[in-house]
Amino acid sequence: MKLKHGSNNETEVKLRWLLVGELATWIGSSFVWPLTSVYLNKQLHISLSVIGLVLFCNCASNVLGSFTAGRLYDRCNPYPLIVAGLGTDALVLFFMAFFHGWPAYWIWLIITGFVSGWNGTMINSIATSLRNYPGRYVFNLIYFAQNVGTVTGTLLVGYLYDFSIEFLFLLAASLFAIACINAAIHYRPVINFHKERVAKSKNTGEKPKAEPMPKHNMMLMIGFLISLAVTWLMYMNWESNLSVYMVSLGIPFHLYSLLWTLNGAIIVTVQVILARFPHLFKNLFQQIIFGTTMFAISFATLIFARDFAHFALSMVILTLGEATAFPAVPAYINDLSPMSSKGKYQGEINVARGIGQAFGPLFGGMVIDRAGYIPFFIIAATGIFLMVLLLIPLHAKLRKYIKLFK
């Protein structure tokens, strides 16, 4: 059964059901991660240093889940893998509603971190099988759904947390259960995609062998992954250390929270524009370079930020980078990946991101403790801009030899 543009509805997962699953899971996830530090510190009286270790373990298990899922996607039938992953996440959140003391909460976070990385890689990998739409369009809409879910979840979590943490976890579990049912019903066409991969395998009847990425494609992908890891390394400090800095300048904490509402609104707006005008950028590489440059500029503007207006300006610039670079990276790496190994390399993206997320607050905290915020902003801006200086000549040198798999 050949998959191609214009194939019938039974040969590939419909994009709308992929987006429904992403929306449900990201709303559910956004009920959990914002409250973790507050709940552990204020309710369970866990020290901030131990909380940092808890969050690190969560990110590390996320990386492991992404790595594992990416390789299994290329070798096994993805359908039971994604259904099992979403179902496990729902089950873990259900148990968290009744057993959220210490250290049970830590154990649940490690498990849900692994499953979250697993599910994220599976969804991105399944997205590579969609042929009725360009890859850029698919990944932009996935990123759009993720951020609509994040905005919705973070807006609701403050009110629901005051009402009942048990209800919060049960609601999150229900959303993952909905995503699991959605996958069980609507993701079955990916079975046909897997059968096609098996049929095309040289060893008929055996599990398909993942084809390695061509040498020059691999070199460019490594450049993207290094850039992604460095960008997340710096970006995570917006979620951790920037709140302390703003409060120290006399800016109320609720205005820091407002920045994230602004972040979500801009991301949604930019994704709508990119979906409406898919050729706003000449190619995905230009989109990645633009976004990465915006990240560097946003940290440079923080050097001079002393009031809310300046922090809001920095957030706007940061969000322009986030909304353009982050969805373009998986789309471009999808084009660089052979058909039989797309899951593996989508998993590598989540590994690079997870490494940046895991070490970002620690790195930022160490620099700030020893040198202060301004030196950190300079280091962050310089580090991200160096990634631009890495990618441009690398792409110029390799572009003649790159083979695209669309």
| Per-residue pLDDT tens over the stretch 350-384 | 889 888 988 887 788 888 888 888 999 999 999 99
Q: Are residues 193 and 279 in the same domain?
A: no
Q: What is the DSSP string of 166-222?
A: HHHHHHHHHHHHHHHHHHHHH-THHHHHHHHHHHHSSSTTSPPPPPPPPHHHHHHHH
Cα separation, 200 vs 296, in Å, equals: 44
Residue 20 lies in a domain: yes
Q: What percent of the chain has pLDDT over 70?
A: 90
Q: With left for phi above 0 and alpha for psi between -120 and 50, is residue 251 left, alpha or beta? A: beta
> Of all residues in the chain, what percent are helix, strand and coil, respectively (each to 5)?
80, 0, 20
Q: Are residues 151 and 251 in the same domain?
A: no
Q: Are residues 244 and 187 in the same domain?
A: no
Q: What are phi and psi of 24, to 5 degrees?
A: -65, -45
99: which 2 tokens?
């057993």
For residue 314, with 0-12 CB atoms within 10 Å meaning exposed, 13-18 middle and 19 or more buried, which class applies? buried
Q: Are residues 187 and 224 in the same domain?
A: no
Q: Are residues 127 and 226 in the same domain?
A: no
Q: Are residues 284 and 355 in the same domain?
A: yes
Q: Are residues 169 and 247 in the same domain?
A: no
Report, as ranges of residue numbers, the positions in the chain whose pLDDT lies below 70.
1-10, 34, 37-38, 41-42, 48-49, 158, 161-162, 198-210, 253
Q: Are residues 189 and 336 in the same domain?
A: no
Cα separation, 376 vs 339, in Å, equals: 41
Residue 209 confidence (pLDDT): 61
Q: How far apart are the first and last CA of the chain?
A: 18
Contact between 297 and 319 under an 8 Å Cβ cutoff? The reply is no
Residue 207 lies in a domain: no
149: which 2 tokens?
């879910």
Cα separation, 300 vs 379, in Å, equals: 9
Residue 215 confidence (pLDDT): 92
Q: Are residues 311 and 191 in the same domain?
A: no
Q: Are residues 251 and 180 in the same domain?
A: no
Single out the residue in 138, 166, 200 at which a domain terminates. 200
User: What count of other Cβ atoms lies within 10 Å of the Cβ of residue 385?
Assistant: 17
Closest among 370, 236, 373, 219 to 295, alpha carbons compared: 236
What tens digit of pLDDT does each residue of 147-178 get?
A: 888 778 877 776 776 677 888 889 999 999 99
What total number of domains does the chain contain? 2
Which range of residues forms the domain containing residue 62?
A: 11-200
What is the domain-level CATH number for residue 168? 1.20.1250.20
Q: Are residues 250 and 385 in the same domain?
A: yes
Contact between 358 and 63 under an 8 Å Cβ cutoff? The reply is yes
